[in-house]
Amino acid sequence: MKSRFSIVKKFPIFAVISLILIAPGLIGLITLPFGLNLFNMDVDFVGGTSMTFDIHQEVTSDLSGNVIPDLVEEATGLAPSSVQKTGDNGEQVLIKCTKLDNDQQKAVVAAMQEEFSITDDDTQNISDVNATIGKEMQSKAILAAVVAVLLMLIYITFRFELTSGLAAITCLAHDLLVVLSAYLVFRIPFNTTFIAVALTILGYSINSSIIVFDRVRENRKFARRELFEDTVEKSLWQTAGRTINTSITTLLAVGMIFILGVTSLRQFTLPIIIGIIAGAYSSLFLAGTLWAKYRGLFRKNKREKAQLKAQRAKQESKASAAKAAAPQPKEEPKAETSTETAQPAKQPQVVTPKKVSSGSKKKRKKRKHG
């Protein structure tokens, strides 16, 4: 199948782009064990104070995004980590902030009562979230992600092969690191909603990768003599339209929630939007090529090597046959050169006259006259 460029051959370019995208999230993860927290951790993970108020009016995006955060910051000197709309009728607000002492909590209650004309009965809950609960939630979140990834690896290995499973897991790690980079760069509160975001991205991304793998397997049945990289290239272009269209339709729905939703919903949908884009990118530009790379690295495919050698030999034979069939230029006749050395021309012999004695001259005269 003809294409403008080769996705498989230009894999180094896409790998560099991926390294740039995952760098912030990867750095943030590496620095966590050393006590350097680069993420905007919410009280769910690091502990803090949670307060719930009934303001007897709908909590709009302006209230949760601007008015209430400014009110809490003026009362305590600390910006809240999140302000969320809760309750069945949407008139309750949940404020989460770092650990506040009694004076700071009373200041927040007084500011809320003055701003919204509420009473003490409208202060529904004020509680401190212990950091130990946050650590327990972290461990459960990590355990849930690890179990999900292992189950996916087993399923893909059973359906395809181990190398395709490794490629899929690599793409999943890539997508999660991109989402973590978004949390770090955009300062999105890192709370329990991350667990839902991570599991959603895992399920969505693996679905796009399996579509590519399934097309590779189908094409492989009818192209046994074709190189695996060529089959992957053809399959990627065949599934590109489906991957892009599916991602766009999903982004339209999630994007409307992000645009029309409140602050808490935006904090949930923004990482999902970034994860969907990252999943489409990894499925199209990374998954199939990584399968081919892992296949060549961990699996000695003698048949494919023999096919490659036969193809090269066939190309060389065609080139030599074409060269032999091409008309040869006529050679000009060359002057024949004798191997024998040229003999010099014979010179006429010079006859030197002989001297005749006087006695012989007299005898000749006698014979002539006598």
**Is the pTM here over 0.75, yes or no?**
no
Q: What is the largest CA-CA distance in the chain?
A: 191
Q: What is the pairing mode between strands 92-97 and 48-54? A: antiparallel
Backbone angles phi, psi at 72, to 5 degrees: -65, -40
Nearest to 160 by CA among 288, 8, 285: 288
Q: Which two tokens stand for residue 112?
A: 């809320």
- Quick check: helix, strand or coil at residue 144? helix
Q: Which of 33-42, 101-110, 197-206, 252-261 has the lowest mean pLDDT?
A: 33-42
* 108-129 average pLDDT score: 88
Checking if the pLDDT of 329 tops 70, the result is no
Residue 368 pLDDT: 55
Whether 319 has a pLDDT exceeding 60, the answer reads yes
Q: Which residues contact 289 (CB under 8 A, 6 or more apart)?
A: 7, 8, 11, 14, 232
Q: Which of 93-102, 273-282, 355-364 is the most confident on average?
A: 273-282
The per-residue pLDDT for 308 is 63
Q: What is the pLDDT of residue 323?
A: 74
pLDDT tens, residue by residue, 247-298: 999 999 999 989 887 777 888 899 999 999 999 999 999 999 999 999 888 7
Task: Tell me how far apart the alpha carbons of residues 87 and 157 are, in angstroms, rounded to a whole number.
Answer: 45
Residue 350 has pLDDT above 70, yes or no: no
Distance set, CA 121 to CA 93, 124, 132, 304, 331 (Å): 14, 7, 30, 76, 112
Q: Are the C-beta atoms of 295 and 228 separated by less than 8 Å?
A: yes
Distance CA 325, CA 162 (A): 49
pLDDT of residue 4: 62
Highest mean pLDDT of the ranges 84-88, 93-97, 167-171: 167-171
Structural domains present in the chain:
11-36+134-305 (1.20.1640.10), 48-129 (3.30.70.3400)
Using H for helix, E for strand and C for coil, what is the string for 95-115? EEECCCCHHHHHHHHHHHHHH
* Residue 341 scores a pLDDT above 50: no
Are the beta carbons of 196 and 268 closer than 8 angstroms? yes
271 with 194: CB under 8 angstroms? yes
Q: Stretch 154-180: mean pLDDT, rounded?
A: 91
- Asked whether the beta carbons of 93 and 69 are under 8 A apart, the reply is no
Instruction: Give the SS3 label for residue 117.
Output: coil
| Residue range 81-92: mean pLDDT, rounded | 82
Query: Could you tell me the CA-to-CA distances from 136 to 36, 54, 109, 132, 144 in Å, in that order?
Result: 19, 30, 30, 6, 12
236, 284 contact by CB (below 8 A): yes
On the question of pLDDT at 141 being above 90, the answer is no
pLDDT band at 26 (very low <50, low <70, confident <90, very high): very high
Q: Which two tokens stand for residue 187?
A: 């300062």
Which are the contacts of 70, defined by CB distance < 8 A and separation ≥ 6?
none
Angstrom distance (rounded) from CA 83 to CA 186? 17
For residue 162, the SS3 value is: helix
- CA 122 – CA 113 distance, rounded (Å): 9
Q: Under a CB-based contact definition with an 8 Å cutoff, are residues 189 and 267 in contact?
A: yes
pLDDT category of residue 339 using cuts at 50, 70 and 90: very low
Q: Which residue from 94, 85, 154, 100 is spatially nearest to 123, judged by alpha carbons?
A: 94
Q: Which two tokens stand for residue 51?
A: 């307060």
